[in-house]
Structure 1
Amino acid sequence: MNEIDYRAFYDRVGSENGWDFSRVQCRVEGAEAELYREVSRLSKPSDLLLDIGTGGGEALLAVREAAHLLVGIDRSSGMIRTAEANRSRFAAANVRFLRMEAERLDFPERFFDIVSCRHSAFDAVQVAKVLTDEGTFLTQQVGEGDKINLKRAFGRGQSYGVPDGTLMADYVQRLTEAGFAEVSAAEYDTTEYYRSPEDLLFLLKHTPIIPEFGRHPRDFEILAEFVAAYGGEQGIRTNAKRFVIRAKKTSRA
């Protein structure tokens, strides 16, 4: 999926669903990456928090009481419309949503105490620019080995064929070069059991795991074969591969 196609896909998903997968029934085995739990733990009541690639704002709104002001940005107008609708339902006066590119953070320098980013691209230099001295950046990303049996079945997929750990190493290097200290990373690989084919189908239609899913002639046939091969009493088995990076800014950044 090229950049133009991905932007169109992401904007459509934003308008239809946001980044809300609460309707998907999936049981998880193993320790999960919990980015916003860590964000909430590190935040102080006086903090200003920026969330890059906030999607429909679902995760940010869930931790709205952790900081004084929370700002979520996303490049998709569809996502921001959904985020605003979600904010209205919560009447969250201390949360703001803005359409903005991660490559150009239009905020004052050293403005935010904490910056978070989940499953979205970020620019390490831009993050360093808007983060206060001694501020913390946390990001959770999808590893190359995510949904690996599904990608093998289709012969294509998000980061398919890229050596595991490549993206994590690249992000760690970029953050280090941008002046961050105490850069640490942790990997998580959990087993997932999707309750029904419909749950898995919803996931595939609303994520880029299998690019252009449904537009290739054999996609639904391959999905049926996958369900037959990996389905069982516990559900349809696959995996979730994630990594979390925590970086502390210094006054040199």
Structure 2
Amino acid sequence: MNEKGLAIHLLYLNAAEFGHRDASKPGGVVTLWGQYVLDNAATVDEALKALENIQVVMAEARGHKGTVHLAMEDATGDSAIVEHIDSKPVVHHGRQYTIMTNDPTYDQQLALLKEHDFSKPSSDTPLPGNVRPTDRFQRAAYYSALLPEPKNQREAIAGVLAISRNVSVPFGAPYKGFGIYNTKYRTAIDLTDKRYFFELTTSPNVIWADLSKFDLNPGASVMQLNPDNIALSGDVSGKFAKIDKAQF
């Protein structure tokens, strides 16, 4: 999340293909794709325009390619999901695009939703329960449609985290050969009040940081917090420590 109320998320998408290097455009390595958006835009509209100016370039580490797709949303409620399929960017832009998992491509995920009308959920709606991205996508759509209008921030964050927990991949299941990994952490973001909520799946505690409590002026110290601490709970904005520079 940046100080303007724009947030990004990156998830694996095996189908992602960024194509050959186009020297006519500046290149942006895929590992900094989301950072480029946060550094250059305040809204989803601005982010999409900024992305037209660069070519996202593949990176590889330890034999694994950075095949990912990008989701983003802003404080106005706008959102977008960007995938690179067959070397071309495919953009799904609109307030209705609020759910993303992994493979298959987003247009295929949306086609699955047409099999059942999750916009009108009922107790008779058949719901897939596996750990596959398609199953998790459909469950997230179903439970999102069930969420009541929140009365306050607490209810809004609780609703988002409840769905996130439901579609997380739990520990201990027989995933050998699945190509699916346990969920390590979950987050929720209040883009209006610039508050970032975080929970490790190995910890019962939810923590959050309030961006308004940090010095965001040019030249301010880089601040860091290790969330893997069972003693942490609630607002941890004051528990961040200064470091010399961002380690990435």
TM-score (norm 2): 0.27
Higher relative contact order (CA 8 A, sep 6+): 1
TM-score (norm 1): 0.27
Larger helix fraction of residues: 1
